[in-house]
């Protein structure tokens, strides 16, 4: 029976994941990126071209070597390494049903243990720190107003960067809405409540966009880059870092040095926790599947409290919210999907 990797990987990426499993485009990109790295490893370390790799060649030793290689060459964390291995395991779980004769082989891969992850203390920005960041954009300019809207949106909704990129005009009901729809991991949609100031800010932004976009559709992304196209992750990250760095120069103690989009999400979650909101509601607000994932904020909050007590520094519980708030060439397909 045919057992070459490319054949089954093509079926997995082009049919099983999008059609049978119904996963999101971003999830497929993540799987594609993992196997692109696997092919790179096979070429560099084993002189193997992708079309020469058989499923049985991908064994426990091969994958353990691969995991060490990505840590060394990509400088990735244990968490990222585990995610890569999880993607490969998911593929071999699929292989178990597709090729029963390789069930035992697949099982040995599924039994490879995860690397123990060393949890880092979550770094977040206080409410006062967020106010300082949101004061940085020049609202006398259109680009400044737009950037302020994006920054405020990401903090007010605790949206992931991809959720911010994917949100559309129709996800916010212009005349009658106190919430916005976000579509998160696994195409899981949730309604996120909006406060009055954020609603007004979005209404003003959308009014401007309706009047200035050459072609306007409710299905368009809410936020477009200067070229009139959908933002990239790098584009959103640039905006976050630009104004965070400006604020950090003004108050180094208040703003961390390396602020990234997820820092805004962490900061909103911590503000809610410190305001006394129960974890189960924070879970739903963030779009987590399990409250266990959300508990990391409670642990982080306890650690921050302990450190503050040691320094005899009172903890602020301020929760003020800022006002401005199918390709035949699989290798090419993998590269395109992973954005590389």
Q: Which residues are catalytic?
A: 160, 185, 262, 265, 288, 297
Cα–Cα distance for residue pair 340/337, rounded to 1 Å: 8
For the beta carbon of residue 177, count every other beta carbon within 10 angstroms. Answer: 16
Question: In b/e form, how buried is each residue of 274-304, taking b as 16+ CB within 10 angstroms?
Answer: beeeebeebbebbbbeeeeebebbeebbeeb
Residue closest to 90 by CA, chosen among 106, 74, 71: 106
Cα–Cα distance for residue pair 127/274, rounded to 1 Å: 11
Q: For 168, list phi and psi in degrees, rounded to 5.
A: -110, 170
For the chain, the farthest-separated pair of C-alpha atoms sits apart, in whole angstroms, at 69
Write out the two tokens for 195: 């406060």
Q: Which residues contact 168 (CB under 8 A, 6 or more apart)?
A: 218, 219, 220, 221, 222
Cα–Cα distance for residue pair 203/116, rounded to 1 Å: 46
């Amino acid at each position: 029976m045919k057992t070459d990797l490319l054949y089954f990987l093509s079926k997995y990426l082009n049919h099983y994941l999008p059609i049978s499993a119904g996963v999101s485009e971003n999830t497929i990109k993540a799987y594609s990126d993992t196997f692109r790295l696997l092919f790179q490893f096979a070429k560099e370390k084993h002189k193997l071209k992708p079309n020469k790799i058989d499923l049985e060649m991908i064994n426990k030793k091969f994958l353990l070597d691969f995991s060490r290689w990505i840590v060394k060459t990509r400088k990735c964390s244990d968490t990222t390494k585990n995610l890569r291995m999880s993607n490969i395991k998911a593929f071999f779980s699929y292989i178990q049903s597709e090729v029963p004769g390789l069930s035992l082989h697949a099982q040995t891969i599924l039994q490879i243990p995860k690397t123990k992850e060393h949890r880092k203390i979550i770094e977040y920005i206080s409410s006062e720190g967020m106010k300082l960041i949101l004061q940085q954009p020049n609202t006398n300019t259109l680009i400044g107003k737009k950037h302020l809207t994006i920054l405020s949106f990401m903090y007010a909704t605790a949206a992931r960067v991809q959720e911010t990129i994917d949100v559309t005009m129709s996800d916010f009901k212009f005349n009658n809405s106190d919430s916005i729809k976000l579509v998160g991991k696994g195409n899981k949609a949730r309604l996120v409540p909006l406060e009055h100031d954020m609603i007004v800010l979005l209404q003003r932004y959308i009014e401007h966009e309706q009047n200035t976009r050459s072609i306007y559709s409710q299905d368009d992304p809410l936020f477009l880059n200067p070229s009139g196209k959908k933002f990239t992750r790098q584009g959103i990250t640039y905006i976050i870092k630009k104004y965070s760095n400006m604020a950090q120069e003004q108050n180094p103690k208040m703003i961390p040095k390396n602020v990234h989009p997820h820092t805004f999400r962490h900061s909103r979650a911590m503000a809610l926790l410190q305001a006394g909101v129960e974890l189960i509601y924070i879970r739903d607000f963030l779009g987590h599947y399990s409250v266990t994932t959300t508990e990391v904020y409670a642990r982080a909050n306890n650690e921050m409290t302990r450190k503050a007590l040691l320094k005899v520094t009172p903890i602020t519980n301020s929760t003020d919210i800022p006002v401005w708030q199918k390709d035949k060439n699989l290798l090419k397909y993998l590269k395109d999907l992973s954005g590389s």
